[in-house]
Structure 1
Amino acid sequence: MTPQLNNEEGTILIAPQKAAGQPRGSMISASFNFINSIIGSGIIGLPYALNQAGLPFGLLLLVVVALITDYSIILLIKGGNLSGTNSYQSLVQRTFGFPGFLILSGLQFFYPFIAMVSYNITTGDTLTKVFQRIPGVGPDHILAERHFVILISTLAFTLPLSLYRNIEKLGKVSLMSMVLTCIILIIVIIQAATFGPQIPPTENSWAFAKWNAIQAVGVMSFAFICHHNSFLIYGSLEQPTLANWTRITHVSVGSALIISAAFAVAGYTTFTGYTQGDIFENYCRNDNLATFGRFCFGVSIITTFPLECFVTREVLSNVICSRDLSKVEYVAITFLIVGACASISLAYDCLGVVLELNGVLSATPLIFIIPSACFLKLSPGRWFQGENLLPTILILIGFFVMITGLTMTVLYPQDCSHGVEMFYCADANVSGTVPPV
């Protein structure tokens, strides 16, 4: 029988079941894990999102996306409590049956799959410039070729790490990724103060809003999505009550918003209209501090790739096999997933569009639509009354962002200059290096 707990308001909550003897964590540790799950590689595209939306309006949209994320995470746990389920998949299956389960499984597959494609694209863009700082490695060297770098990183690092069957062996990755993200944030802020004044601003750099704002929402959604970890973190609490969960969510999302906004503003104000989907594409090759930042980010995404691969493999095994995979099946599916990601990233190199598509097609329904739909299905009353009004509005907003964002991304794709040195790096007055302290 599933244990039940009473929260401070007297509402009956379903406490997620844990294995016997498995320790529960404090609210502080849960908050740290939650912040770490939100702040990931998607943060690198947030300056690009401000370039699309305009700085003031982009910041406003970032706050709105954070608030919606905060609300939908709490709504997700409320839905689990109403249905007596303790995972995103079981909640959707209990609410909408097997068709709903298939739709959610598809979204949960494509989100990390496209994320892995973006990781490979970024690896090719980022590490090639790192290698060019090695004496004797020029633009024509094989280490400066993005296709070669993607293949080598796949064969030497991401594929072997992705073959681990126990995700606990990758447990230290999240902590290292968090530390590297903080280092990258510091580097971007320093560069905004030292390198930014040397770059001429573009036309309409400080416009309040731009017409690509809907596409920016997709990038922001990609950066903030963390719903697949919500039930896991909720179940790790010593006292898994809705009141405790609400506090943790507010603190975690609020902290992530502050870090994300600082990164986005620092990156955009440095390069304004020249800002690329991967902010490190904007820095010059002879910039030593940026090179160190590129190295940190390259290591971060290479070690994060296996975690996303674990999710896609689990989704495939649950939907196709409905059982534990044999060793041969496990290796074959892993090779298939990693190989498909490498092939797509070798053929396409525009990170901004990849982030937009993943945001509008996968992250938006996972944040805006599905948690709200599950809650409305389980909650009594009319859709436009009481506490059901806001979830209804979120569903409508989610469909609007998906349809409009997809249309604009296809019809008006953003320009890319990946692997190309920016024009201001050739200017004699713009060295791209940090002045000595």
Structure 2
Amino acid sequence: MPEMRDFNNVPEDDSSSSNSSEYPCPKKVPLDGQYPDFDAECQNFLPEHTSKKKYATESHQGSASFGMSVFNLGNAIMGSGILGLSFAMANTGIALFVILLASVAIFSLYSVHLLLKTANEGGALVYEQLGYKAFGTPGKLAASLSITMQNIGAMSSYLYIVKYELPTVIKAFTGANDDQWYVNGDYLVLLVSVGIILPLSLLKNLGYLGYTSGLSLLCMVFFLIVVIIKKFQIPCPLPDIHDNSTHSLNISHSLHSDNTSDEDTCKPKYFIVNSQTVYAVPIITFAFVCHPAILPMYDELKDRSRKKMQNVANVSFLAMFIMYLLAALFGYLTFNQHVGDELLHTYTKVYKFDVLLLIVRLAVLTAVTLTVPVVLFPIRTTVNHLLCPSKEFSWVRHTAITVFLLAGTNALVIFVPTIRDIFGFIGASAAAMLIFILPSAFYIRLVKKESMKSRQKIGALVFLIFGIVVMLGSMTLIILDWIKNATSDSGH
């Protein structure tokens, strides 16, 4: 591994903020783990000579094979978003969901194409550095804030899983009822955050935590297998539907009236539009975000070429598209209109205790608990670099930023009613920026050899406008839904 550069002596146009929750310090990522075992606060991976204006991406050859790159990108794509896709399908119908899922996947691949071409032309393999080269400090801030928001959303979604699933696991082992304080999800999130996540987050080195992304992917594959199995074990209509948890699952009652027959209830719908449909696109968008990790992976690809990296993305996105579609479809067909906004927790409405589901819960809880510190590392680095870019490392500042970020995320998880709101808001804002708006804006600005009248530039401009419309439209509809729900709640 090349000698690491001094983090505190970074030129202004060399971004040192994180690129992804999956790639906190993406320099020479080893093949046997996605995270290098060195100071995670050092975020510069471009060698000194990569400041050339064009084609600096050819500075060195990586060592990651095509297959390993596909696996690593699959890790970067796959996350907690898969747990919300059945809810999205329940509020769009099967046909409309497939159209939306395929559209977002195709748009994401197109934005990867724009990023790769822009990286070659602009001579930068860091998302934030592309922002600086394109628009100066505002571009760098836009990229940094978007990535930070996306990572905070990922952290929140992981802690929501702890909030939803850990009480169920404790009840299974102890037989406790809902009145016991130690099965209250809010208390458990705080205990896990203080007792496990905070000590791990305070470490200077990522170390073994780097392997948790692979563990997370394996857990989600296991989760998908169980979802498919349970579809053939759970009857329809569901027996004795109820939810005894202390937290609402926000079941979509609006899909059917109370007098809907069992036959209608068990019959899948292909096109649905209701008040919750607005969350579908943000949830799907949130599930496909991996774009800050694309450039580091491109840098590490053996016999690197833009075409080869695009093929890596094509295979990875196709695999994740199939996994997402299967998880959403079988989850929806199992529960129909009773799907909750977090699919795994929805099974508590049928099973008080199930060994297979308990194993899934334990695996997912372990993976997400160990992943939260990994996601927090790049957020802290970005905050530290924005606030104190030239100061030496300080344990006091390191600890203060860590506690502040973890406390803020816990507050979101405790006071925001459902994981659906996190998926929706982050998907409509940060995810839309990273997939639609920033790649197209960087392309238009940095690829000089094509005129604005060229087909490529016109396509990028249309993509940019489309992204802005999607972001503003989704955010507006989500906020209106929040206002409507707040008004109806205050009226009772």
**Residue 406 of structure 1 corresponds to which residue in structure 2?**
475
**2:191 alignment partner, one of 152, 165, 170:** 152
Residue by residue over 1:255-284, the C-alpha shift from the partner in whole angstroms, topping out at 9 and shown as x without a partner, is 111111111111111112221111122112
Stretch of structure 1 that moved more, 249-258 or 341-350: 341-350
**Aligned pair partner of 2:377 in 286, 293, 310:** 310
CA distance in 2, matches of 1:102, 1:224: 22
Q: Could you say which residue in structure 2 is the equivalent of 1:50?
A: 89
Matched, 1:373 2:415: no
Contact 1:111 1:363 in 2 (8 A): yes
Counterparts of 2:205 and 2:58, CA distance in 1 = 22
Runs of 4+ aligned residues of structure 1 deviating over 6 Å after TM superposition are none
Alpha-carbon separation, structure 2, partners of 1:13 and 1:238 = 17
**Match of residue 403 from structure 2:** 335
3-state SS of 2:352 partner: coil
Alignment correspondent of 1:89: 128
Q: How many residues align?
A: 406
Q: Which deviates more from structure 2 when the two are superposed, residues 208-217 or residues 310-319? A: 208-217
Partners of 1:46 and 1:264 within 8 A in 2: yes
Q: Could you say if the C-alpha distance between residues 38 and 349 of structure 1 is closer, same or farther in structure 2, counting changes exceeding 3 Å? A: same
Q: 1:120 aligns with which of 159, 162, 170?
A: 159
RMSD of aligned Cα (Å): 2.3
CA distance in 2, matches of 1:405, 1:204: 29
Q: Which shifted more, 205-214 or 66-75?
A: 205-214
CA–CA distance in structure 2, aligned partners of residues 413 and 54 of structure 1: 22
What secondary structure sits across from 1:286 in the alignment?
coil
Task: Please state if 1:291 is matched with 2:354.
Answer: no
Q: How does 1:181-330 map to 2 (within 5 A)?
A: 181-199=220-238, 200=262, 202=265, 205-211=268-274, 212-284=276-348, 285-288=351-354, 289-323=356-390, 325-330=393-398
Cα distance in 2 between the residues matched to 1:80 and 1:195 = 49
Counterpart of 2:462, as a letter, is I
Identity %: 26
119 and 414 in structure 1: CA distance in 2 versus 1, 3 angstrom threshold:
farther
Quick one: distance in 1 between partners of 2:358 and 2:483? Answer: 25
Aligned partner letter, 1:15: T
The answer to whether 1:385 aligns with 2:470 is no
Distance 1:68 1:51 in 2: 23
The answer on whether the counterparts of 1:48 and 1:278 sit within 8 Å (CA) in structure 2 is: yes
CA contact (8 A) 1:360 1:401 kept: yes
State the shift of 1:16 in Å: 5.7
In 2, distance between residues paired with 1:249 and 1:358?
Answer: 23
Change (3 A) 1:386 1:179: same
Segment drifting more, 289-298 vs 50-59: 289-298
> Shift of the alpha carbon at 1:373?
0.8
Report which stretch shifted further, 388-397 or 405-414: 405-414
Q: Is the 8 A contact 1:53 1:209 kept in 2?
A: yes
Q: Deviations over 1:163-206 (max 9, x none)?
A: 22223432211121111111111111111121153425649850
Q: Residue 38 of structure 1 corresponds to which residue in structure 2?
A: 77
Question: 1:44, 1:278 within 8 Å by CA — same for their partners in 2?
Answer: yes
Kindly indicate whether the alpha-carbon contact (under 8 Å) linking 2:171 and 2:183 is maintained by their aligned counterparts in 1: yes
- Whole-Å Cα distance in 2 between the matches of residues 95 and 63 of structure 1? 30
Q: CA deviation at 1:290?
A: 2.6
Deviations along 1:192-241, one digit per CA (max 9) or x if unpaired, are: 12115342564985042425544211111111100111111111112221
Residue in structure 1 matched with residue 417 of structure 2 by the alignment: 349
Closer/same/farther in 2, CA of residues 298 and 349 from structure 1, 3 Å limit: farther
Structure 1 residues 28 and 2, CA gap change in structure 2 (3 angstroms):
farther
**Aligned partner of residue 194 in structure 1, secondary structure:** coil
| Structure 2 Cα separation of the partners of residues 383 and 273 of structure 1 | 48
Unaligned runs of 5+ in 1: 5-11, 417-437
Q: Distance in 2 between matches of 1:253 and 1:414?
A: 35
Q: CA deviation at 1:333?
A: 0.7
